Amino acid sequence: MHRSAPRLTRILACAAVPVMLVVAGCSSDSDGKTPDKGAPQSSGGTSKEAPKDTTPSVAPAKYAELPEPCKAVTVKTIDELVPKAKSKAGTPSTSTDTDARGGCSWNGLVDKGLKGSQYRWLDVAFLRYESVDTLGSGEKRATESQAKEIAKLKATEGAKNVRDSVASGVGDQTTTVAYTLRKTGEDFVYATTVARTGNVLVILNYNGTGYAGAETPNDQKMMDGAVKATKDAVAAITAANK
């Protein structure tokens, strides 16, 4: 078939360019009037946004404040559980972070002359847990710590007559562990309550012994005393956060 000169010139020119340019401008034999349907189409310059993280954060901690440890147990309770306390105001424990932890202790000796003496010790500790995305809510962390503390108490080295009891109506969850431990030649009876209220853990220890022939304290009475003081401490947490 006879080809016109202009058309033949265009075909020869296209044959001389690199192959990748041929695809763009020489794929049609219709004088450039038909667009290349195989060429990639522009998306308009828009790009997809990175998916947003929809993972919910942990719930905020319930309590932001701790009570003053030495004021957390009422004077009335101290008088009952620690007669003749050396200081009803208590002795505060040392803490480098009073927003997260604190404690106080009381002790006293009642001398009954020929009937011997009764010694009592009471201490309370507060541990507050913040909510942390990588660790869980404050409540979850306090619950985990509570389980560990109870397990440690039950495994106290040298402890005898170990038993535990759940105290209802004290915080969210409360367990008291009682046991007898031989110290300084006497049998000391311990009752330690581990209570959780929200994101705060209360560990309250009440112990005592009878000296010079005095009767050894009854473990149930010691447990009851520990629970009584723990109720004061839990109420103090609520009051501190009003």
Task: Return per-residue pLDDT of the chain as tens, 242 residues.
Answer: 444 444 434 433 443 344 333 334 434 444 444 445 454 454 444 555 655 655 568 999 999 999 999 999 999 999 999 999 999 999 999 988 999 999 999 999 999 898 999 999 999 999 999 999 999 999 999 999 999 999 999 999 999 999 999 999 999 999 999 999 999 899 999 999 999 999 999 999 999 999 999 999 999 999 999 999 999 999 999 999 99
| Cβ atoms 121, 107 nearer than 8 A | yes
pLDDT of 151 = 98
Give how far Cα 42 sits from Cα of 22, 35, 39, Å: 20, 14, 10
pLDDT of 57 = 87
> CA-CA distance, 126 to 98, in Å (whole number)?
10
> CA-CA distance, 117 to 115, in Å (whole number)?
7
Q: For 164, phi and psi rounded to 5 degrees?
A: -130, 160
117-128 and 160-166: which strand pairing? unpaired
> CA-CA distance, 232 to 181, in Å (whole number)?
26
pLDDT of 90 = 98
pLDDT of 35 = 46
Enumerate the domain spans of the chain: 1-32, 69-240
Round to the nearest angstrom and report the end-to-end CA distance of the chain.
Answer: 100
CATH architecture label of 69-240: 3-Layer(aba) Sandwich (3.40)
Give how far Cα 108 sits from Cα of 87, 112, 121, 190, 207, Å: 8, 13, 7, 15, 11
